[in-house]
Amino acid sequence: MTRPAALLLGRIDHARPEWEALSDIAELQEFSSGTLTTFHAALLAGAYSNVVAIYRTFDSGVSLTGPFSRELISVLPPSVKFICHNGAGYDQIDVAACSARGIAVSHTPAAVDAATANVAMMLLLGALRRSWIPESALRMGRWKGEMQLGRDPEGKTLGILGMGGIGSAVARRAKGFEMRVVYHNRRPAREDNGAEYIASLDEFWGLCDIISIHLPLSTTTKHFITHAQFSLMKRGVVIVNTARGAIIDEEALVQALESGQVGSAGLDVFENEPEIHPALIGNANVVLLPHIGTATVETQRKMECLVVSNVRSALEKGTLVTQVPEQREGGQFPVL
């Protein structure tokens, strides 16, 4: 009888031994170089006809296969029952198309919470102090340059948009800075760390001195914040985004910054990565990072190990450890 196979798309840097240990229960295959065209050709040639579980690295979606679109999912072998994605966000995967084909999808929540929350707090503090202005002046030999007085976090109202694992971790950290923390979700969170639930979005926008975004990207959250929402916020509000760039209408953000409606921003994600709106780059009131929220050795290892755990569970038990919520809530899975 042919052994089931697990297919790695991309490269594992921190949990290679754990991946190789899966050889005790499956044939291990890898696709680490090539293009969508070559991957598509390999699929059609039957190269992966016994693959049951796919380990999908985030970088493979950029440099190898591209997003797991409905078209790509339609040509996966019938044997594929699991896609194990490395990343808390999984907007690169058409989950509805996977569900229609009986493919269960996992992601890596919790593993990313601490690192991403730390970056959110770093951006929050940097945006309050407009830290880029004196730092860039210092590097150019001008000491403080055109430094302006910043603002302290104490006593400010931080609004968390999306109180999941990362939002909850931000709330815990913000309490240490003596901030009032409020949040908005579709429903009250199970773990809010003492934050106050605001059911009305309009009320939420108007309450916050700082807004930190922690929503997943989907068709319903793309451009969730645009001109109308900015107009409801306090003048001079600080915006922090470590979720996905397209949740904010970037052009609307640029205009809000230029008008002073948004006082400053801290951004780790952008609408059309790796492209960044030139007006953001040129605005001294914006602190910019190149999507490094989870870029620590410890977090990358936790993420890779969790994906391997999902692959092992898929092969041994026919279930996933951290299945995406749409499928869990739909009650369609496990598939085996």
291 among known catalytic residues:
yes
CA gyration radius, the chain: 22
Starting from the edge strand earliest in sequence, which strands make up the sheet with 51-56, in order? 27-31, 5-9, 51-56, 82-85, 104-106
d(CA 276, CA 281): 7
Point out the catalytic residue in the list 273, 275, 298, 316: 273
> How many CA atoms within 13 Å lie on the side-chain side of 116?
31
Point out the catalytic residue in the list 107, 244, 277, 312: 244
244 among known catalytic residues:
yes
d(CA 84, CA 18): 15
DSSP for 104-145 reads EEE--TTTTHHHHHHHHHHHHHHHHHTTHHHHHHHHTT-TTT
SS3 sequence of 278-298: HHHHCCCCEEECCCCCCCCHH
E strand residue ranges, 173-227: 180-184, 196-197, 210-213
Contact 180, 125 (CB under 8 A): no
Cα–Cα nearest to 56, from 303, 326, 336 = 303
16 among known catalytic residues:
no
Point out the catalytic residue in the list 101, 180, 227, 291: 291
| Residue 213 backbone dihedrals phi, psi, to 5 degrees | -100, 130
Q: What DSSP designation does 24 have?
A: G
CA distances from 290 to 44, 90, 189, 233 (A): 36, 18, 30, 26
Residues serving a catalytic function are 244, 273, 291
